[in-house]
């Protein structure tokens, strides 16, 4: 293996690994090379599966969904997909786009569904808009501030925010900044939708949640909307795939089922918003 690695490094003219007290690690060039090779190997395996006997009825599909999307579209999409491909093995990974996008790029996931995370100049992923999420202020049922009608009345409350890691400014901070108000200090950041609901419903904290999720359990059973007069932000949910790489027939069918399940969530005139 050592000789093979040395020959590969000689052919590439670059050092791929380095030996450290913690063990053998990939260099930055090694990580870049591994990412490309992993993606190529994954596509080769998919190509072999597609031409093999039974590839259209057996095999696997992997996709990722954001924490505010899964419960809204996955059950309906999977039920529809199962009618066409009952023997295909499914892997569903929940995470924010910053976590899912690299796995789509390297072929670990066939596609992802979530917010836009890439720069407009990044052409490695192709994005298809599905629907728009509108945010609302939420509190536990019976909260003392449930009848508040402005953000000024809520500025002194504690807040929780459902936010991805390394996302920069949180939705709560952006909301208060747009109203030219000081953001509440020390807002708790959650990366789990169910933990967020449990936290807001079990404390006196306020939070931001999508209007669509407020219509679903468990949020509708334990939370209520605080109707403030200020306009609240919205964001678009996309389906993203690797640019120039076709999906396998089963993966394409599942992506189509996800898009179909998303149509009932689309707001007229906003589905293609960016």
pLDDT for 200-236, tens place per residue? Answer: 999 999 999 999 999 998 999 999 999 999 999 888 9
Instruction: State the pLDDT at residue 90.
Output: 95
Mean pLDDT across the chain, nearest whole number? 84
Segment 231-261, tens digit of pLDDT? 998 889 999 999 988 899 999 999 999 999 9
Give the whole-angstrom CA distance, residue 33 versus residue 16: 8
147 Cβ contact list (under 8 Å, min separation 6): 226
Task: For the beta carbon of residue 32, count every other beta carbon within 10 angstroms.
Answer: 13
Q: Domains in the chain, start-ordered, CATH in brackets?
A: 1-44 (no CATH), 132-235 (3.40.190.10)
Closest CA to 118 of 233, 242, 245, 210: 242
130 Cβ contact list (under 8 Å, min separation 6): 73, 113, 236, 237, 238, 239, 258, 259, 262, 265, 266, 271
Would you say residue 186 has pLDDT above 70?
yes
Closest CA to 135 of 159, 111, 100, 112: 159
Handedness of CA 102, 195, 222, 163 (dihedral sign): negative
This model's pTM is above 0.85? no
Would you say residue 10 has pLDDT above 70?
yes
């Amino acid at each position: 293996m050592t000789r093979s690695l040395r020959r590969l490094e000689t052919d590439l003219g670059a050092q791929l690994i380095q030996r450290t007290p913690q063990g053998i690690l990939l260099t930055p060039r090694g990580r870049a090379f591994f990412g490309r090779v992993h993606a190529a190997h994954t596509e080769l395996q998919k190509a072999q599966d597609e031409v093999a006997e039974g590839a259209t009825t057996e095999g696997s599909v992997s996709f990722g969904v954001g924490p505010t999307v899964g419960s809204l579209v996955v059950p309906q999409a999977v039920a529809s997909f199962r009618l066409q491909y009952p023997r295909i093995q499914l892997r569903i990974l929940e995470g924010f786009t910053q976590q899912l996008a690299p796995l789509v790029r390297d072929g670990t996931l066939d596609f992802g569904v979530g917010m836009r995370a890439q720069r407009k100049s990044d052409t490695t992923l192709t994005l298809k808009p599905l629907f728009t999420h509108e945010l609302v202020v939420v509190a536990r049922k019976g909260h003392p501030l449930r009848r508040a009608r402005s953000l000024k009345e809520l500025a002194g409350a504690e807040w929780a925010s459902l936010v991805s890691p390394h996302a920069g400014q949180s939705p709560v901070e952006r909301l208060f900044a747009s109203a030219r108000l000081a953001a509440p200090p020390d807002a708790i950041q959650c990366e789990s939708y169910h933990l967020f609901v449990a936290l807001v419903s079990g404390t006196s904290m306020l939070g931001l949640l999508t209007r669509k999720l407020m219509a679903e359990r468990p949020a509708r059973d334990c939370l209520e909307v605080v109707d403030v007069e200020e306009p609240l932000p919205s964001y678009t949910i996309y389906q993203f795939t690797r640019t120039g790489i076709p999906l396998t027939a089963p993966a394409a069918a599942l992506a189509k089922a996800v898009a179909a399940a998303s149509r009932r969530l689309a707001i007229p005139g906003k589905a293609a918003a960016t």
